[in-house]
Amino acid sequence: MIRDPRADGFRFPAEWETHARCWMAWPSRDDLWGDRIEEVRDSYADIAKAIARFEPVTMIANPDHMADISLKCGTGVACLPVEHDDSWIRDNGPSFLMDSEGHITGVKWGFNGWGERFVPYDLDAQVPDAILDHLRINRYAAELITEGGAFHTDGDGTLIAVETSIVNSNRNPGLSRADIEDLLLRYTGTEKMIWLPHGLVGDHTDGHVDNVCCFTAPGKVVVLTCDDEEDENHQRLEANRQVLEEAVDAKGRELEITEVPQPRARYNAKGERLPLSYINFYAPNGGLILPAFEDSADDRAHKVLSGLFKGRDVIQLPVLDILQGGGGIHCITLQQPKFMSFQEKKNS
């Protein structure tokens, strides 16, 4: 029998559980960022420094960029030399799982540059091994091509994903949705899958879930909405909401749904719509790092999301420079759960 994380008693912790640190990757792909790369690096540095107020941050960097990180991020952000192609560590980094004793393991997914959309990606595909080797953490190699931003968990047995970003011939040709669901559940230690039909227009990833929906607690989700019936995202987001209204989680709970409206449409220099979303946030220990889009909906998103994560200090940061590359705060961050001793778990 081939062992997998679920069979070995591991589960995928929720993102609001205690972190040991946050991982990030320094922007380096000149053909993506062009002459905006320094502004983008400033934005990454601002996000890293904000997160470092709540938990340790380690930035991986190509060796010739180490000095840049020290200059822009200061001493509060650690740096690890790891060669990589791009800076979306949520997608190409390892997924961290935990067992009932608090031990940590890693899952290395297959990575092919979001369906061969961005090449080269061979260095990005090796990042999970580099991080896990550095941490001396064992790992499972999943026979599935996917990205970490493609799925989200409640930490209590349920996984949610957008079908088009995983059940896709550019990722997993020859595998049925049932095959893919089985692999996802086994390698995340979960029991129930909820498939959403749509991501956002303009999302290079074929529609990652971290732009449209996420759990905020077991049995509770926040979803992106659009009231403008003429907007091309309106029907997509309504279809997602309908699925969630009819869904139950791994424990048989109907989902409590909270809405947050999308910001107004923005476009890049090529006239392509950017996938702007308030769902694309990061929740460090005791904090909440939210995106801001210089939009009238920013304040509303702050109110809704801070209300869902009561007791956390909320920081809202501009991310329009990062969005020119196709992603947001959640896309450039990766939480590493903390090993919890018996006494720590007892006191938590």
73 catalytic residue (yes or no): no
- Reported as a single tens digit per residue, the pLDDT across 100-115 is 999 999 999 999 999 9
Domain annotation covers residue 3 = no
**pLDDT tens digits, one per residue of 168-208:** 999 999 999 999 999 999 999 999 999 999 999 999 999 99
Confidence band for 1, pLDDT divided at 50, 70 and 90 = very low
CA neighbor of 98 nearest in space, from 320, 348, 338: 338
Quick: pLDDT tens for 205-227.
Answer: 999 999 999 999 999 999 999 99
The pLDDT of residue 339:
84
The reply to whether 340 falls in a domain is yes
Catalytic residue, chosen from 22, 73, 79, 331, is 331
The more confidently predicted of residues 245 and 342 is: 245
> What pLDDT score was predicted for residue 37?
94
Indicate whether 277 belongs to any domain: yes
* pLDDT band with cut points at 50, 70 and 90 for residue 3: confident
How many domains would you assign to the chain?
Answer: 1
The mean pLDDT value for 243-248 works out to 98
The predicted-structure confidence for 21-55, as pLDDT tens digits, reads as follows 999 999 999 889 999 999 999 999 999 999 999 99
The share of the chain scoring above pLDDT 90, in percent, equals 95
pLDDT of 341 over the 60 cut: no
Residue 283 lies in a domain: yes
Range of the domain at 16: 10-347
Instruction: Assess if residue 159 is contained within a domain.
Output: yes
pTM: 0.96
* Residue 4 falls inside a structural domain: no
> For the domain that residue 218 is a member of, what is the CATH number?
3.75.10.10
CB atoms inside a 10 Å sphere around CB 334: 28
Residue 1: inside a domain, yes or no? no
pLDDT surpasses 50 at 144: yes
